[in-house]
Amino acid sequence: MFKPNPLSPINDPADPRVRNPENNSLVSRPIKPKSSPVGGASEPYGQDLNNYIPKPPVPQPETEMDPGIDEPGQSPPPQAGQPKESALSRFRNFFKNRKKKKNPAQKIKEAVDKNRKRAQKLGKVLRWLWRLFSIIVDLAIHYWYVTLTLLFVAVIFLLVRRIIDTVTNDNKSGSGTSQDGTISYEIKPAAANGENGWYTQLPTINLNSDKSVYYYFNKSSNVKTYDGKVVVPEGDNTLFYYTSADSVSSLKLKVDLAPPSNPNKFIENMDDDLVDKDKTCTKKLKYKWDKSADGVSGLAGYVMFVMKEIDPDSHKLEMAIDKFKVPPSRTNYELTDKQAAYLDDGKYFGALTAKDMAGNETKVNYSTGIEIITTGPENPKVVINDGAERTADVNVKLKLSVDVDDEFKPVRMKITNHKEDLEDPEDADEDDAGTPDTGGDSDSDSDSEAKLNITNKALAADDSDEAADTDPDADTSEDDEVTGDTGSDSDEYEDDTKNWPEFAEEVDWVLDSSEGDGFKKVYVQFADKCGNKSHVTYDEIFLDNTPPQDLQFQINSNAERTSDKNVTLGIRASDDWTPIKMMISNNSSFDGNINTTTDWIDFVNVYSWQLTDGDGPKTVYIKYKDGGDNTTEPISDDIILDTTGPTGAIAINNGAGETSSVSIRLFLSYSDPWTPIMMKVSNNLAFNPSVSNTTDWMPAMPVFNWGFSNNIAGNKRVFIQFRDGGGNLSQIYFDDITYTPPPPPPDDGG
């Protein structure tokens, strides 16, 4: 079988010939057949059919359509051996297979169906988006630390990108052209890398032109020819450049390459507040230094910050007060109250740099360092009324004591009835009155927890009169105010102890009685000469202005009368402040010179007492006092002393002189205010029932049936005695009657 030679021209697309595979002869390359205008089979036009090399049929991919059905509007491909389709047939098939035009209703229905399907798809997408959003929110809540980590990473990324952009800006170049367009220039860096439009590194300037370029700075007559290098001097310059003197262009270039002169002799300036040369008892540190200067861009001011020594051995420092600006006219500075409030005890170093208008700064100058000792007076104590538990008087006496070194004297103090009037470095321990935790051990846990953590605190000077220049020769214009970040919300430090009175061991004081009786506290705080405060301490006492309560007093169990001047008093009173005392008297003035009055005696519930002589109403008075001498008003009870018996009379048979019956009627009269009145009747003076008829005590009655003890004729006497409700007996009353027995009845038999 013949194999074509790879080097044969048949394999060269540029060769116009082609090799006949039947006899391996070279024939002309066939012309690419043209497509049928109606999509029929391709035919080789303008070519010798005898020399035409047919291509093998291209296999058609199988489709899912019925083999007998064609796509609308498309003629079926011709089959081998079939004649070519005529033009009339193609025209007929075109109209036969074209799409039929739809009516408007069908179009609307299809559009509605299409929009409904789109809405369904959109709703499904929105539901999936909402589910995804809910999952993200749940993850952010449950895994908050992951969320914070991602946010932190994003912030770090943005900061790093900004730093990179800032650094790479120095390598960017700016460009432009002169006014007449004959010179193009290029400046590197593109913009001033310092502050206020100043370059702090020497800029590189390239001037490009096909002509000679001339330049000079400012108003200088020293015109130079550009030779590929422009040296910019320091200062506020204007570069003039041109190719023709008729058209001069300019560039503004401000260059300051060096920082100001160093502010030497930067030291603490504590004046008379020093305890010794390297210690102070005030937080308001003061500094002074030599004035700096800058002859190029000018001195912009100073930058200060304060560092705290956290490790004396390694001299490790941490930021205590962040950077803040000081005006250029200042050569001294005192920390503001706001700044001082964030300093605790320890050693601090001031740090200072001078800065020019271009942003160049000197090296950091550190002060010699000074130790702040602000521990206030220790062991403060106050005692009310020598430690008494109660008082009935709002006027009390305080005894005060405190420990303080001589270097920190004089000591001042503030006393108040309300704790909120004082600011305690730590809350007073009110579990033990008078002995709160007043320090002593500065390394205690409670002390360390109360201290402010000032590490990396971004504090700055306060824009207020407190930052005014302390140098009388310094310029104090508005431009010289101290500026900086004042965003801290901390309370300002202020020495409010200057107006406190000096310490005294004993002080007269008045308790707060606005809320009545109860425990009353007196708070006291001490301060040394620098205003360092002690802990707030206090003592308490119970103010009791209320006398005993629940008072009751009765004579003989509240009896109305008594026949005995010796009575029994029932007494009742209550008070928390014991012992309760009482005083009893028969007169309201409790004057023993008038009649019986006791001294203050211990309270008892039952007490024997004697009334004054003589019948009639009697009043007994009593008053009480508690352990604080709170005395009640007198209370009293009344009783009638009645030692006189009833009066009365008796008449037998209503005063008849004689009777012939042993049964008689007694007509009685009696009188006494003390009821009930009782009576006893007898036929003998002794009221002896064994001798003759005698009754027991019975209620008195105006008429009483009685009888003689015998029927012997003669004078008969009846005795009667009355008794009142208090047992007082009347005298014995009697009456006589002559008894004459009746004659015997006649004897019927005789």
Q: Could you write out the DSSP letters of every residue in 229-286?
A: --PPPSEEEEEEEEEETTEEEEEEEEE--S--------EE--GGGEEETTEES-S--E
pLDDT at 687: 94
Q: How far apart are CA 291 and CA 471, in angstroms?
A: 12
**More confidently predicted of 409 and 388:** 388
pLDDT at 449: 31
pLDDT at 723: 95
Q: How far apart are CA 627 and CA 581, in angstroms?
A: 8
Question: For residues 101-117, b (16+ Cβ closer than 10 Å) or e, as one string?
Answer: eeeeeeeeeeeeeeeee
Contact 387, 397 (CB under 8 A): no
pLDDT at 44: 41
Q: How far apart are CA 202 and CA 224, in angstroms?
A: 19
Contact 281, 374 (CB under 8 A): yes
> Quick one: residue 24, left, alpha or beta (phi over 0 = left, psi -120 to 50 = alpha)?
left
Contact 334, 469 (CB under 8 A): no
Q: How far apart are CA 332 and CA 286, in angstroms?
A: 7
Domain ranges of the chain: 1-77+86-99, 174-255, 267-372, 549-641, 647-739
pLDDT at 385: 93
Q: Which amino acid is present at 663?
A: S
Q: Please report, rounded to a whole number, the percentage of residues in the chain having pLDDT higher than 70.
A: 74
Contact 281, 408 (CB under 8 A): yes
Whether the pLDDT of residue 487 is over 60: the answer is no
Q: How far apart are CA 567 and CA 442, in angstroms?
A: 71
For the chain, what is the radius of gyration of the CA atoms?
Answer: 64
CATH 2.60.40.10, applies to 549-641: yes
DSSP E strands, 532-630: 537-543, 549-555, 561-562, 566-574, 581-585, 601-602, 606-610, 616-625
Q: Which helix (H) or strand (E) holds 128?
A: helix 104-142
Q: How far apart are CA 9 and CA 368, in angstroms?
A: 98
**More confidently predicted of 118 and 616:** 616
What would the two tokens of residue 221 be? Answer: 């007559």
Q: Which helix (H) or strand (E) holds 87?
A: helix 87-97
Whether the pLDDT of residue 537 is over 60: the answer is yes
pLDDT at 137: 83
Residue range 645-672, pLDDT digits in tens: 999 999 999 999 899 999 999 999 999 9
Q: How far apart are CA 111 and CA 107, in angstroms?
A: 6
Give 500-504's long-range contacts (Cβ < 8 A, gap of 24+).
500/412, 500/413, 500/414, 500/527, 501/412, 501/413, 501/414, 502/410, 502/411, 502/412, 502/413, 503/400, 503/402, 503/410, 503/411, 503/412, 503/413, 504/400, 504/413
Count each helix (H run) and each strand (E run) in the chain, helices first.
5, 43
Question: What's the distance, Cα to Cα, between the start and end of the chain in Å?
Answer: 215
Rounded average pLDDT over 50-77: 42
What would the two tokens of residue 317 be? Answer: 């420092």
Q: How far apart are CA 191 and CA 72, in angstroms?
A: 69
DSSP state of 287: E
| Phi, psi of 136, rounded to the nearest 5 degrees | -65, -45
Q: Which CATH architecture has domain 267-372?
A: Sandwich (2.60)
Rounded average pLDDT over 59-88: 47
Least confident of 60-74, 87-101, 122-136, 723-737: 60-74
Q: pTM here? A: 0.44
Mapping DSSP onto H, E and C, the string for 331-374 reads: CEEECCHHHHCCCCCEEEEEEEEEEECCCCECCCEECCCEEECC
pLDDT at 279: 80
Rounded average pLDDT over 604-621: 93
Q: Which helix (H) or strand (E) holds 379?
A: strand 378-384
254-258, 441-445, 494-498, range with greatest mean pLDDT: 254-258
Q: Which CATH architecture has domain 647-739?
A: Sandwich (2.60)
pLDDT at 562: 93
Q: Cis ω on the peptide bond leading into residue 33 (within 30° of 0)?
A: no
DSSP state of 502: B
Whether the pLDDT of residue 495 is over 90: the answer is no
pLDDT at 540: 94
Q: Which amino acid is present at 247?
A: S
Rounded average pLDDT over 102-109: 71
Same fold, 549-641 and 647-739: yes
Whether the pLDDT of residue 500 is over 50: the answer is yes
Whether the pLDDT of residue 106 is over 70: the answer is yes
Residue with tokens 């507040």: 273
Contact 635, 660 (CB under 8 A): no
Q: How far apart are CA 204 and CA 225, in angstroms?
A: 16
pLDDT at 50: 41
Pick from 372, 354, 356: which is nearest to 364 by CA?
A: 354
Contact 317, 306 (CB under 8 A): no
pLDDT at 84: 58
DSSP state of 34: B
Average pLDDT, the chain: 78
Residue with tokens 């009043």: 619
Query: Which residues, 6 or more positions from 146, have their beta carbon under 8 angstroms from its beta carbon?
Result: 139
Whether the pLDDT of residue 570 is over 90: the answer is yes
